[in-house]
Amino acid sequence: FRLHESPEEEPHILLECDSGVLDAIQKHLKLYKIRRKVNIAPCLDLSLWAVVPGEQAGDIASSLTKCADQALILTPDPRTEVMGWRLITKKGANLSEIIPGSHIGNIQDYHRHRYKQGIPEGVKDLPPGVALPLESNLAYMNGISFTKGCYIGQELTARTHYMGVIRKRLLPVHFSAPLPKDSIPEGAEILTESGKSAGKFRAGGGELGIALLRLANINEPLCLNIAGDKVKLTASIPEWWPKPASK
């Protein structure tokens, strides 16, 4: 989306969102702009790319200045270093010219990378009205401010943060066998060896995924029940998470 008061300001604000909720977000933003003369429109002439680590930041930045006519913005992914950079180009831009020596993957490669790192994204990973900000690790990804407000749910979020009681979190999980495509019900339950609920599956592909798990159970043998078959999985704490302070 572009958000600006006049074409001269462009691109004043660019907002990235899940393509599945494009219309819903546009309607939501227009509802809250009140009487401000702000124009909100989808950027149909732009393309968004994820540049995952593997290139040197300096090399990328220098190559970008040579192709400013094709690449509009290159910025570090604000969530975490392991996600690299976000690149916005004009539609149809030649990526091999903008970043020489780069390999153009597909969307499945991108999802595998973020599942491996435990990075949620979009309405499937973060169901509206269901996913809680702190359980979704948004405080680890520059997604929550505790010094400014206000927003819906701020009081609950701040209180939970300062009390330090977060019992469940989204975590990367690795399955013992590749998952069957499109046959896992939304929010499928993950169980401990004794049959106790340990959390819920959110999304995945192949042998990787992310799940909302109780932290008390993450070191136990876990499994996902798919149509009567139990697929074993292991959870892990991502390296990019802040390290607990030593006492």
137 and 78 in a single domain? The answer is no
Reported as a single tens digit per residue, the pLDDT across 128-150 is 989 999 999 999 999 988 887 67
Q: Which residue, 105, 121, 156, sits at the end of a domain?
A: 105
Q: Is residue 243 part of a domain?
A: no
Q: Is residue 241 part of a domain?
A: no
Token pair 């159970």 is at which residue?
A: 217
Reported as a single tens digit per residue, the pLDDT across 145-168 is 888 767 778 888 888 888 888 999
80 and 23 in a single domain? The answer is yes
Secondary structure of 211-229 in the HEC alphabet? EEEEHHHCCCCEEEEECCE
Q: Is residue 122 part of a domain?
A: no
Burial of residue 238 (CB within 10 Å: 0-12, 13-18, 19+) is middle
Least confident span in 113-127, 173-187, 188-202, 225-239: 173-187
* Whole-Å CA distances, 195 to 32, 78, 162, 207, 223: 46, 39, 33, 22, 9
Cross-strand partners of 241: none
Q: Is residue 1 part of a domain?
A: no
Token pair 């206000």 is at which residue?
A: 150
Would the pLDDT of 2 be above 80?
Answer: no
A 10 A CB-CB count for 132 gives: 17
> Considering just the CA atoms, what is the radius of gyration of the chain in Å?
20
Token pair 């003369």 is at which residue?
A: 37
152 and 77 in a single domain? The answer is no
Q: Is residue 126 part of a domain?
A: no
Burial of residue 214 (CB within 10 Å: 0-12, 13-18, 19+) is middle
The domain in which residue 212 lies consists of 133-235
Q: Is residue 125 part of a domain?
A: no
Would the pLDDT of 247 be above 50?
Answer: no
Q: Which residue, 68, 89, 105, sits at the end of a domain?
A: 105
Q: Which residue, 105, 124, 144, sits at the end of a domain?
A: 105
214 and 172 in a single domain? The answer is yes
176 and 94 in a single domain? The answer is no
Q: Is residue 13 part of a domain?
A: no
Q: How many domains does the chain have?
A: 2
pTM, to two decimals: 0.84
Q: Tokens for 186, please give them.
A: 């939304």
Give the SS3 label for residue 22.
helix
Residue 215 pLDDT: 95
Q: Tokens for 143, please give them.
A: 């997604």
70 and 150 in a single domain? The answer is no
- Residue 155 maps to which CATH number? 2.40.30.160
